[in-house]
Structures are given as C-alpha cells and as structure tokens.
Amino acid sequence: MMDSPLVLRRMEPGDVEPICRAEAAQGWHAAPDKYFTRLRHQQAGLCVSLTALWDGCPAGYINLYFSPQDGPFVGQSLCEIVDFGVLEKYQRRGIGSALMDAAERIAAQRSDRVCLGVGLHSGYGCAQRMYAKRGYVPDGSGVWYGDAPCPPYTACQNDDDLVLYWSKHLG
C-alpha cells in the first residue's frame, strides 16, 4: 500500500511565499499579510491554521477560528471556517475534503456546530457545492455585504465581500 502524498499540518511562515506565488500565478488575489495575520492569530490561540502539503508542496489551507469574527454568528459559542482554499493545480485530489474534515474534527471538540461564509460569484461555485454536499445549510439571515446584512432590494456588488452564511451541526 502506497503512502498518500497528502500531509496536513499547522501553517508555518515558510508556507506564505509559495502559496502567494501560486495564487498570483492563477489570477487569485495573493495577500501575504492575510496569512501572516492568520499565523499571529494562531500563535495567540484564536484559531488553528492548517496547510495541506502535496508531495511536500503547499497545496491548500484552511483556518478555523474559535469564535466568529463577522456575520450573523458573532457572540455565539461555535467555530467559524475562514479563508479556505485549494490551489487549482491540486484540486480534485481530495485535499479540500481532507482540510474540511480536519477543521470539522477540531470544531467538534469545542461546539456542536460550525459556521462559514461563502462568496456568491461563480469563483466560489465549487465551494458552494462542497458545503451543500457536506451538510451545510444557509443560516437564513440573507446576503451579507462586508460586515452587514444587505437590505432587500438594494444594489450591491458581486465581489468577494458579498457572502451567504452557512452552518452545519457536527456529530
């Protein structure tokens, strides 16, 4: 039986540059500061940041915060998945499912439910389908833009700040 080329571990500072370089090469917004913030938050005990390595190369990441920072779940005692991605050249290898499984296992140690926000444009289509297949359901608070609900019948911009919040019961 062959060993899997996939390894999950806590994110390290050395992961930032190769992830950002790969994100930029595929047209994603590469923001090293975002990852360094996650690392600081992990060091402070606010979250767990995981990196997926495929044959030793960073291929994906997920962050699980122990208290929601934004959206309709702020102040509730549950964990929030934030900033989850698998680089395009590594997709369809089970990496995203492995990262989600790990985040949900960690979340289940703290709460019976986990939440997340997902963008609404087509770039998030794979994630939207994955969340539905994994049993996540929209929370019913409607569409959010930035850090606030988007009022009905108002114009909004379909960018990364336009999100729908979902949750899943664990166990």
Each residue's pLDDT, cut to its tens digit, for the chain (171 residues) gives 567 899 999 999 999 999 999 999 998 888 899 999 999 999 999 999 999 999 999 999 999 999 998 899 999 999 999 999 999 999 999 999 999 999 999 999 999 999 999 999 998 998 999 999 999 999 999 999 988 999 999 999 999 999 999 999 998
| Neighbour count for residue 41 (Cβ, 10 Å) | 18
pLDDT at 146: 87
Residue 1 falls within a domain, yes or no?
no
Q: Output the six-digit token pair for 169.
A: 């019961």
The packing angle between helices 125-133 and 95-108, to 10°, is 50
Per DSSP, helices labelled H in 7-153 are 16-25, 32-43, 95-108, 125-133
The total of structural domains in the chain comes to: 1
pTM above threshold 0.75 = yes
pLDDT at 152: 93
Specify the DSSP element, H or E, that contains 137: strand 137-145
* Rounded Cα–Cα distance for residues 77 and 41 (Å): 18
Residue 36 falls within a domain, yes or no?
yes
Residue 125 falls within a domain, yes or no?
yes
Q: What is the CA radius of gyration of the chain?
A: 16
Residue 150 falls within a domain, yes or no?
yes
pLDDT at 147: 87
Residue 99 falls within a domain, yes or no?
yes
Any idea what DSSP says for residue 124?
Answer: G
**Residue type present at position 147:** D
* Rounded Cα–Cα distance for residues 34 and 37 (Å): 5
pLDDT at 2: 60
CA atoms within 13 A on the CB side of 100: 19
Residue 35 falls within a domain, yes or no?
yes
Residues of the domain holding 97: 6-169
pLDDT at 1: 53
Residue 143 falls within a domain, yes or no?
yes
| CATH code of the domain in which 43 resides | 3.40.630.30
Question: Nearest-CA neighbor of 131 among 97, 91, 154, 87?
Answer: 97
Q: Are 150 and 140 in contact (CB under 8 A)?
A: no
